[in-house]
Amino acid sequence: MEATIEAIRKKEMGSYKASRVFNVPQTTLERYVKDRKKSSSETLKTKLGRKQVLPCAAESDLAEHCLLMERKFFCLTMADVIRLAYQLAVRNGIKTQFCKRNEKAGRKWLKNIIRHHPQISVRTPEGLSLSRARGFTPESVAQFF
């Protein structure tokens, strides 16, 4: 890719011909060539898109905490994870665009973190009926096992 960008910058070939020779979309090449202030290697290292709200380390710590809670059979709801993210950002002094009035992150943020960490599952807890709670005695558990 660097060779392609350098060839276009040195005017050895145009973006159309380079896209055909190196099998790279023409618009991608034009976007990379447009920024002449950076070298071709720096241009390729530049990440596109929005920046993450939480740093990678904080996001993976939050994901690990959610998984720990699941292993302990404590189901976290969407609202719990959103509040945890806000508290994590506040306690670590991370400046975010989270809603300070409601003290929680947004649903779009939750959707993105679940996409980044697919092992997290956010569930809606189910209620326990009174008869099941009464039936859960040491004798019934011993009889089952």
Give the C-alpha separation, 84 to 80, whole Å.
6
In-domain check, residue 87: yes
- What global pTM score does this model have? 0.56
69 vs 42, more confident: 69
Q: What is the mean pLDDT of residues 3-30?
A: 85
Looking up residue 7, the CATH number of its domain turns out to be 1.10.10
Task: Based on the fold, state whether residues 60 and 111 are members of the same structural domain.
Answer: yes
User: Where in the chain does DSSP place strands (E)?
Assistant: none
In-domain check, residue 79: yes
Structurally, how many domains does the chain consist of?
2
Helix (H, G, I), strand (E, B) or coil at 121: coil
Could you report the per-residue pLDDT of 89-105, keeping only the tens digit for each? Answer: 888 888 887 777 778 88
In-domain check, residue 140: no
Task: Based on the fold, state whether residues 93 and 69 are members of the same structural domain.
Answer: yes
Domain with 35 in it: 2-45
